[in-house]
Amino acid sequence: MSRKLVYYDPTQSPALGSIVSPTSESQDMSRDWSLQTSPSISPRNAQKLSSTVEERSGIIKVSVDLNIPPVILPQFKSMREAYEALTFEEKKSYKTETIAFADAHANTIRMIYLRVLTGVLDITSTQYVALKSLYDSHAGLLKMLNQYNVPAVGAKWSSEYKKIHDAVKNNMTAFNAIVRGKEIIENGQKISVGGLPVHHHLMTVEEGDLLGDRREQDAFTLALLAYLDEQKEFPEDKLAKYIIIYSNHDEQFMLQYQKGFLAILKTRGQLGGGMRNDADRSLVHLGIALKHNVVPYEIIAAQIERAYKPYLKMGHAVSVDNKSVDRFFHAPVDAYQVKSLAEFFSVIYQEGTVENTINTIDTINEKFQRKVYCQQGEKLSDLLLPDHILNELYEFQENNPKAIFEPIFNNSSYAPRGFLWGRPNILKNDFESTKELNAATGERNFKKVAGEACRTSLCLPDKNECPGSYYHGHVGEGRGVVFSGEVKNYHNLESNLGKYPGEDVGCVRIYYCGTHQPALNLLMKFNSPEIPLRSRVTSPPPSFTLGGKMTTLENTVDTPTGGCPGFFSRSKSIRLTSDKAPERKRSFCGT
């Protein structure tokens, strides 16, 4: 038996200040309202509310500074408290609320920050400052370690090599000890002490790029995922409450894992390096740690098998009202591309109802998992397009600036068509059939090489499609399809926050779907105070002990004063950029 939750609305607190109504200039039809986070917000004088509005999903914008310890948003705090007040049986029958984050950029600190913001994790200021310092110093330590050759088995280590090797190992051990806690022996059994508290009021959807991307070290992210996997709410749960949408960066990681990390290190001397502009940096750094045996391969492999592979999906779909469906993919797709994906995996494509739409995507995920686990003779490398097709695609892209896509998936019975991680920038409403979609490309090799999946446009839903929206990342912050009128079915959640070292201040877009009125109010109301950004963002210089001497790595980034992209004020909208971020060059597999 389930009872209705009664929520408290912290937005009624005077601490929030006045709500600024959107003007005609700043009206955002996608209901992407902005929220300034502040540790001073409290739920005092709150008013009891239950959900009474039609909107059940949308986007919440939050300004973030990763240099400052995160604080749970009061709306999610009240949601968590209401959930935790339920009985054991009520929790088991409760339909969990959903949040979604776009591209993680392989940034473990960002992943922790957003989970604290929404109440999935708790962390103290001391713990967070320590984690941030350890994380920011890691790349510098690895660079120093990689200057040395790996000593031969049984050979004596030089004192200099031992110092830097110990420094890297201590850095990772200290990070993991804060996240996961420490194991002690009590009454002959191992038990964990400490660790970041985990809460279960939300299902978290990660829209990809968790591994093999630009930030520090995939071992950090795998350790976090392994910890979350261990903290399942109920003993009989097979999976914890998170989902990972497969992406181009995750693909690069998984393909090398299936080929064998150690075998690749033996033949090539490094992992990664297959993406332009150092876009798989975290995988390269994992290779350095494995090569020098800072972290044992057996631990990494066990974490991948237990906490990463079971959670991989091609897409995800949710409905809270049984009238519409919100769909999640790493890149922008429309119904035609989902149909193409279903055909690729030999899934019967069903449309028109909530149940059919969800079942179709779930079945695609089941078939995809067979390749993840190499079942029935299948493997992920089967998904790759042949080299001659890839070369033709790349040549075509070089000569056609509008054609921006990432190749994925080949099927011998379906060749040479494939499903692509594309970057469409136009919204069309005049296509009536797949045939017209293919013909509309009008380019030399578009149709020949990739069929309908390789398009620069997305299509408005037709009458046969179940109502709802598509949520994605991949295309870059502030980019997406061009639309006109009041119809917007495609939403880009991606943010550059934490994408490169120094990009620690910015804006995140959090998808929320549920019935919690205070959180829903954030989708509907508009609060846009100026963001108190400093003209010079200075992170505390990361430091570490090396041979008894304290060493400091400089990490200061000049940043123009401004607000987060799309963060409206009464007078202007300012884009935050970092003048020292690496140059963005167009790459086939690097966004």
- H/E/C letters for each residue in 540-565? CCCEEEECCEEEECCCEEECCCCCCC
In this predicted model, what pLDDT tens digit does every residue of 223-232 receive, in sequence order? 999 999 999 9
Instruction: Say yes or no to pLDDT of 35 above 70.
Output: no
H helix runs in 332-415, sequence order: 335-344, 354-372, 387-399
- Cα(198)–Cα(191) distance, rounded to whole angstroms? 17
Instruction: Say yes or no to pLDDT of 527 above 60.
Output: no
pLDDT at residue 32, as a whole number: 35
Rounded to the nearest angstrom, the gap between the alpha carbon of residue 209 and the centroid of all alpha carbons in its chain is 6
pLDDT at residue 424, as a whole number: 63
Q: Are 382 and 410 in contact (CB under 8 A)?
A: yes
- What residue type is assigned to position 462 of the chain? D
In this predicted model, what pLDDT tens digit does every residue of 138-158 receive, in sequence order? 999 999 999 999 998 888 999
In this predicted model, what pLDDT tens digit does every residue of 318-351 receive, in sequence order? 998 888 899 999 888 888 778 878 877 888 888 7
Determine the length of the chain.
591
pTM, entire model: 0.77
What kind and span of H or E run contains 9?
strand 7-9
For residue 463, the 8-state DSSP code is T
pLDDT confidence band for 163 (50 / 70 / 90): very high
Both structure tokens of 443: 């380019």
- Cα(329)–Cα(315) distance, rounded to whole angstroms? 5
pLDDT confidence band for 100 (50 / 70 / 90): very high
Instruction: Say yes or no to pLDDT of 80 above 50.
Output: yes
pLDDT confidence band for 374 (50 / 70 / 90): confident
pLDDT at residue 403, as a whole number: 45
**How many C-beta atoms lie closer than 10 Å to residue 499's C-beta?**
27
- Grouping H, G, I as helix, E, B as strand and the rest as coil, residue 113 is helix
In this predicted model, what pLDDT tens digit does every residue of 429-467 receive, in sequence order? 544 433 444 433 434 344 444 444 445 567 777 777 888
* Residue percentage of the chain with pLDDT more than 90: 41
Render 168-220 in DSSP notation, one character per residue. HHHHHHHHHHHHH-EEEEETTEEEEE----B--SEEEEE-S--SSSSSS-HHH
- Residue 556 backbone dihedrals phi, psi, to 5 degrees: -105, 130
- Residue 65 backbone dihedrals phi, psi, to 5 degrees: -125, 110
Instruction: Say yes or no to pLDDT of 48 above 70.
Output: no
Instruction: Say yes or no to pLDDT of 169 above 50.
Output: yes
- Residue 571 backbone dihedrals phi, psi, to 5 degrees: -115, -25
Q: What is the mean pLDDT of residues 81-109?
A: 93
Q: Over the range 138-152, which residues count as b (16 or more CB within 10 Å of their CB) and which as e? A: bbbbbebbbeeeeee
In this predicted model, what pLDDT tens digit does every residue of 206-265 receive, in sequence order? 999 999 999 999 999 999 999 999 999 998 999 999 999 998 889 889 888 988 999 999
Which residues are within 8 A (CB) of 356 and not within 5 positions of it... i.e. 6 or more apart? 350, 466
In this predicted model, what pLDDT tens digit does every residue of 464-505 receive, in sequence order? 788 888 898 887 887 766 554 455 788 889 999 999 888 999
- Cα(333)–Cα(567) distance, rounded to whole angstroms? 26
Instruction: Say yes or no to pLDDT of 520 above 70.
Output: yes
Instruction: Say yes or no to pLDDT of 385 above 80.
Output: no
pLDDT at residue 192, as a whole number: 63
Q: Are 251 and 380 in contact (CB under 8 A)?
A: yes
For residue 308, the 8-state DSSP code is I
- Cα(523)–Cα(62) distance, rounded to whole angstroms? 12
Question: 527: phi > 0 → left, psi -120 to 50 → alpha, else beta; which?
Answer: beta
pLDDT confidence band for 104 (50 / 70 / 90): very high
- Grouping H, G, I as helix, E, B as strand and the rest as coil, residue 442 is coil
